Amino acid sequence: MMSPQNNTMQAPASGVTVRMYNTGFGDCLLLAFRARDGSARYMLIDCGVHHTYSGGASKIRKVVRDIMRATTNHLHVVAVTHEHTDHLYGFKYAREIFENVRIDELWLAWTENPTDKISKNLKQLHGMKIRALTAAVSQLRLSNDPLGGTLQGLLDFEYPNALSATGGNPAQLQYLRTKSRKKLRRAGDYRRPGERPLTLSGVDGVKIYVLGPPRDVDWIKMLEKESEMYLALRGTNEVTAFAAAALATEGTDTLSNEDRELLRRSRPFDESLEISKNAASTHPHYGAFFRNHYGFSRRNRHGPEWRRVETDWLAAAEQLALQIDSYTNNTSLVLAIELTEVQPRKALLFAADAQIGNWLSWHELSWPGEGEDSETIRGEDLLRRTVLYKVGHHGSHNATASESGLEMMDSPDLIAMIPVDKEWAYGRRPPWKHPDEDLLARLKQKTEGRVIRTDEIPSGNRPPKKPRNVNRSEWQSFIRKLDWDRSGDKLWIQVTVPG
């Protein structure tokens, strides 16, 4: 709760208080732990709002001012999970407010390490896909194809036009690198799955396990199931072939050596057998065939124009756009915070926007000697101990694993937190089904109604209504752990997990 004297966020005597801020449509979570000297230690996990959310910039500035009051301008750890706007644009829109804050440590995933070879290859591949999608959108718009406008919206999710002058999303991470007192200089300064559990200075009874993103690229490429893979780093598939072809529409002279090689390997025939579009109608052997069957002009006996492909092949760009978005989600930094001075131990899972490959990779992780009596802790142990789950990707259908994830969270005290604005998400064209109704129904079953959402923050002093078929005393116990902004702005809602 807030201190009545100075509006600071108080840390509980044991355990942790988790405050979820209502930025509109974005993740922003502030955690408070009690240090040995009685003071609070604050961790901020993400601070963002989607750049197309109406009034989002103004709203997140209110949020950041509240964070500054709550922490007295001191954040001991800032963890940014990935580069999407709805996770980091608080550092853009409220930068002048963040100028006054002290940040001790910045936690970024290994995928943000510029010297990591695997990370560089992933970034290079990601950049190629962005350029390919940009080329496809350009061609579609020249042809007045409405798909071009739709795909431009998906492209803007990654690199909003309004911020192109400031370097796009990575510029916000660079600002935080500079702002953090502890610099990221070595590979060990970036967070890696399976590394030794992290701790907070001066805080007992808390271990922080890094679960993702996985180092194995095959896990990162896995989205919803094994058959849906990301583009291979060295191979080609139908999407890499499309990306190479889309890049070639702007002329092969503009291609890098790597893109030119990718185009060569993706061609269905040897280059000596190809007939270019411009030469097809004049080819000495096959020109008449193309003229007579593929409508090279409107002249008589030049074939029906409907047989020409034109821009129809560019429709595959939609699949490429979805993969670009999902790739970034699947590189999410995932943290499990374990409270060790309570029996049984409790864990809090912050899964960011991780998709299925990220989730499945956790089951391969282990930490020898970190359990009771120096036993080994495994990824599945942390899932089974989870009492608070920050739901992945605003409750989308493909960011919460079922049998290998949610179904393993069998604590009777499980609480789910969802940062979402359903009305805004469902009102988009095309709509984003956040939260997914089937997933939401299962979350309510697993938690016995203890699902906290930013678009359902209570008004005034009236607590959330008890769901039907839920024990009254258990519901009252939950309400006692809950607090929220009663000012009318509905800026935040929080819950305390006692240790």
- In order of their start, the domains of the chain are 16-113+184-226+330-497 (3.60.15), 119-162+231-324 (no CATH)
Residues of the chain with pLDDT under 50: 1-5, 161-167, 224-237
Q: Specify the pLDDT at position 430.
A: 75
Contacts of 269 (CB under 8 A, 6+ apart): none
How far apart CA 217 and CA 221 sit, in angstroms, is 6
pLDDT of residue 137: 73
Classify residue 2 by its DSSP letter: B
pTM of the model: 0.81
Closest CA relative to residue 497, chosen from 480, 485, 474, 484: 480
The pLDDT of residue 289: 80
pLDDT of 398: 86
Q: Are 239 and 323 in contact (CB under 8 A)?
A: yes
Rounded Cα distance between 226 and 201, Å, is 41
pLDDT for position 234:
37
Q: Quick check: 383 and 209 in contact, CB under 8 A?
A: no
pLDDT in tens, 174-230: 999 999 999 999 999 999 999 999 999 999 999 999 999 999 988 887 754 433 222
Q: Give Cβ neighbours of residue 380 (< 8 Å, ≥ 6 apart).
A: 362, 363, 408
**pLDDT score of 201:** 94
Please provide residue 99's backbone torsions phi and psi, each rounded to the nearest 5 degrees: -60, -25
Cβ neighbors of 430 (< 8 A, separation 6 or more) are 150
Give CA–CA dist 395/477, Å, rounded: 25
